[in-house]
Amino acid sequence: MADPLLWQISTVTAIRAETSEVSSFTLRLPNWRTHRAGQHYDVRLTAADGYQAQRSYSIASPPSRTGEVDLTIERIAGGEVSPYFHDILELGHQVEVRGPIGGYFVWEPALGGPLLLVAGGSGVVPLMAMLRERATADSRPSAVLLYSSRTVDDVIYRDELASLATNDSGLRLIQTLTRSQPAGWTGYDRRIDRPMLTEAIAAAGSQPLVYICGPTLLVEAAANGLVELGVPAAQVRTERFGPTS
């Protein structure tokens, strides 16, 4: 089996817009290996003069899919890697990657549940891999996703999440929009706080396995809040990025 730390050349086979600033890129891998939901791939770009830029992106696709992975990437203004994916990369282009990487922020059906997933912005990506893998499992633990976005147009995987929540009685979707809300919005309209976490815990059931991913301030507030509400710290796993919200 291929070493996950060895670089390989992948081929772009699909590009799908998730929002105006976020797209999913399907990469076919010559040395594919099974990943665990929550892991990531490193991407490396090399310029003609030899300069290299490298970033890590969470895997969005479930481990049950073989031969390829989806990386959902948000365009970061002034970034060195994400603008290349959004503005230059086309079907058939090749990109250097290595992975899957990571062993802490991972979930697989054998770990069971119930699951309490908390996401801010593009922090939903590794959690979506978990939900997608859960959907393929013979035995599905109950799951709650508490997801914070700026606006409804910033909700990544919006239609798929709505479909999953509608068709799976074991999945509860709780959403909050922090900047603006459309007419008829019935979710929350502020940053994640104690009442939201209280509702999420009640929906998830006792002693949930918790995965939180998003901007640092959101992750810290959610993790601390859950522990204060009685969730054992040992059952809370976090992954964070940058100061953006």
Q: Calculate the CA dihedral of residues 205, 211, 216, 218 and round it to 10 degrees.
A: -20
What pLDDT was estimated at residue 215?
95
Q: Examine the pLDDT at 245 and tell me if it is beyond 70.
A: no
Within 10 angstroms of residue 109's Cβ, the number of other Cβ atoms is 18
**Residue range 114-126, pLDDT digits in tens:** 999 999 999 999 9
Confidence at 243, pLDDT banded by 50, 70, 90: very low
Flag the least confident range among 1-5, 43-47, 186-190. Answer: 1-5
DSSP assignment string, 18-72: SSSSEEEEEEE-TT-----BT-EEEEEEE-TTS-EEEEEEEB-S-TTS-SEEEEE
What pLDDT was estimated at residue 244?
38
Q: Which of 33, 15, 13 is nearest to 24 (CA)?
A: 15
Q: Examine the pLDDT at 169 and tell me if it is beyond 90.
A: no
Q: Examine the pLDDT at 1 and tell me if it is beyond 90.
A: no
Q: Examine the pLDDT at 242 and tell me if it is beyond 60.
A: no
| Rounded mean pLDDT, 97-114 | 95
| Rounded mean pLDDT, 46-73 | 95
Residue 211's DSSP bridge partners are: 117, 237
CATH number of 8-101: 2.40.30.10
| Rounded mean pLDDT, 134-149 | 93
- Level-2 CATH architecture, domain 109-241: 3-Layer(aba) Sandwich (3.40)
| Rounded mean pLDDT, 105-110 | 95
Q: Examine the pLDDT at 138 and tell me if it is beyond 60.
A: yes
Whole-number percent of the chain with pLDDT over 70: 98
The tokens describing 208, both together, are 């949930």
At residue 231, φ and ψ (nearest 5 deg) are -75, 125
With contact defined as beta carbons under 8 Å apart, do 76 and 164 qualify? no
CATH 2.40.30.10 maps onto the chain at: 8-101
Sheet holding 209-215: strands in order across? 171-177, 143-149, 115-120, 209-215, 236-241
- Answering whether pTM is above 0.85, one says yes
CATH 3.40.50.80 maps onto the chain at: 109-241
Q: Examine the pLDDT at 216 and tell me if it is beyond 60.
A: yes
What pLDDT was estimated at residue 5?
87
What pLDDT was estimated at residue 235?
96
**Residues in the chain, overall count:** 245
Q: Examine the pLDDT at 177 and tell me if it is beyond 70.
A: yes
